[in-house]
Chains A and B, each alone.
Chain A
Amino acid sequence: MQLPFAGADSRDSRFECNICLDHVNEPVVTRCGHLFCWPCLYRWLNTNHTECPVCKAGVSCDNVIPLYGRGQDPVDPRTKTVDRSAENIPERPTAERPRAERPRGVFGEGFGFGGGGGGGANEFAQGGMTITAGFGFFPSLFALQFQRFTSAPAGAQAPADSEDAAQQAMLSRILLALGTFVVACLLLF
Chain B
Amino acid sequence: MSAVAKRLQSELMSLMMAGDDDASAFPSEDNLFEWSATIRGSKGTVYEDLCYELSMSFNDEYPYKAPKIMFRTPCFHPNVDEHGNICLDILKEKWSAAYSVLSILQSLRSLLSDPNPDSPLNQVAANLWQDQTQYKKELLTRNAAAVVSSR
The answer to whether A5 touches B10 (Cβ under 8 A) is yes
Does A43 make an interface contact (CB < 8 A)? yes
Q: What are the residues of chain A within 8 A of B16 when measuring CB–CB? A: 3
The residue in chain A whose Cβ has the minimal distance to the Cβ of B11 is A21
Name the interface size band of chain B: 10 to 19
Q: For residue B11, which residues in chain A have a CB less than 8 angstroms away from its CB?
A: 21
Given known A54-B96, A54-B98, contact A22–B14 (CB-CB < 8 A) = no
**At the interface, yes or no: B13 with Cβ under 8 Å from chain A?**
yes
How far, in whole Å, are A15 and B59 apart by their CA atoms in the complex?
A: 26
| A47 interfacial by beta-carbon distance below 8 Å | yes
Which residues from 44 to 81 on chain B have a C-beta closer than 8 Å to any C-beta of chain A?
63-64
Beyond A3-B13, A22-B7, A44-B97, 18 extra complex contacts between A and B, CB < 8 Å: A5-B10, A5-B13, A5-B17, A7-B13, A8-B14, A8-B17, A18-B97, A18-B98, A21-B7, A21-B100, A22-B10, A34-B98, A40-B97, A47-B64, A51-B96, A53-B96, A53-B98, A54-B98
Mark B residues whose CB is within 8 Å of A: 3, 6-7, 10-11, 13-14, 16-18, 63-64, 96-100
**Residues of A at under 8 Å CB distance from B?**
3, 5, 7-8, 18-22, 34, 40, 43-44, 47, 51, 53-54, 56
